[in-house]
């Protein structure tokens, strides 16, 4: 009888430990865009705004730490027009207001990333994405934005 109780206790502990791993993984999932400023230059002559053509270095990771893409390693930042849908929505929102040289960590929920379909084979459906970003350049502009343009 004692071994049956012990086996049940082990089974319960095993189930709880698995549940803990599942819960711990869900804690990493985000519901809204989270922006963490990691470095901001003292002088900020220009801030990125909608319609700007920008160059951004990035490292994209899944919540388990798996890197799925990185411009840093290639030495080739991505070039796109901000706020026009050329990149995922989390980027269009998360890069706004950045200064040249600024570094941000973006935690992007699936709804602002690749959604429930993901981007197989590297990004599973429903994935929260984590990007380390650095604004390298703002092209074709020479004036400070007004507050309502950010």
Task: CATH number of the domain at 122, please.
Answer: 3.10.50.40
Query: 1 pLDDT exceeds 60?
Result: no
**Average confidence (pLDDT) over 115-142:** 92
Catalytic residue check, 131: yes
Q: What is the pLDDT of residue 19?
A: 39
Q: What is the pLDDT of residue 46?
A: 87
Q: Per the domain annotation, does 124 fall within a domain?
A: yes
Q: What is the pLDDT of residue 12?
A: 41
Which one of 92, 131, 132, 138 is the catalytic residue?
Answer: 131
What does the DSSP assignment read for 2-37? HHHHHHHHHHHHHHHHHHHHHHHHHHT--SS-EEEE
Q: What is the pLDDT of residue 45?
A: 85
Q: Per the domain annotation, does 121 fall within a domain?
A: yes
| pLDDT 10s digits, 72-113 | 999 999 999 999 999 999 999 999 999 999 999 999 999 999
If one counts the domains in the chain, the total is 1
Percentage of the chain surpassing pLDDT 90?
Answer: 72
Whole-structure pTM value: 0.76
Catalytic residue check, 88: yes
Whole-number average pLDDT of the chain: 83
* Nearest residue to 135 via CA among 33, 32, 30, 44: 44
Q: Per the domain annotation, does 4 fall within a domain?
A: no
Distance CA 148, CA 15 (A): 52
Q: Per the domain annotation, does 57 fall within a domain?
A: yes
Catalytic residue check, 58: yes
Q: Per the domain annotation, does 21 fall within a domain?
A: no
Q: Per the domain annotation, does 96 fall within a domain?
A: yes
| pLDDT 10s digits, 17-41 | 443 444 344 447 899 999 999 999 9
Range of the domain at 64: 34-138
Catalytic residue check, 132: no
């Amino acid at each position: 009888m004692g071994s049956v109780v012990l086996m049940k206790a082990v089974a319960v502990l095993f189930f709880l430990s698995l549940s803990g791993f599942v819960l711990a993984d869900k804690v990493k999932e985000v519901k809204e865009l989270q922006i963490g400023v990691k470095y901001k230059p003292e002088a900020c002559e220009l801030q990125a705004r909608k319609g700007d053509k920008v160059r951004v270095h990035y490292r994209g990771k899944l919540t388990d730490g798996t890197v799925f893409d990185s411009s840093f390693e290639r030495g080739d930042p991505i070039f796109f027009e901000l706020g026009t849908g050329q990149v995922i929505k989390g980027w269009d929102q998360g890069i706004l207001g950045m200064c040249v040289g600024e570094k941000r960590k973006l935690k992007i929920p699936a709804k602002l990333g690749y959604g429930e379909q993901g981007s197989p084979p590297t990004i599973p459906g429903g994935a929260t994405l984590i990007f380390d970003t650095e604004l390298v350049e703002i092209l074709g502009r020479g004036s400070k934005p007004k507050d309502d343009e950010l």
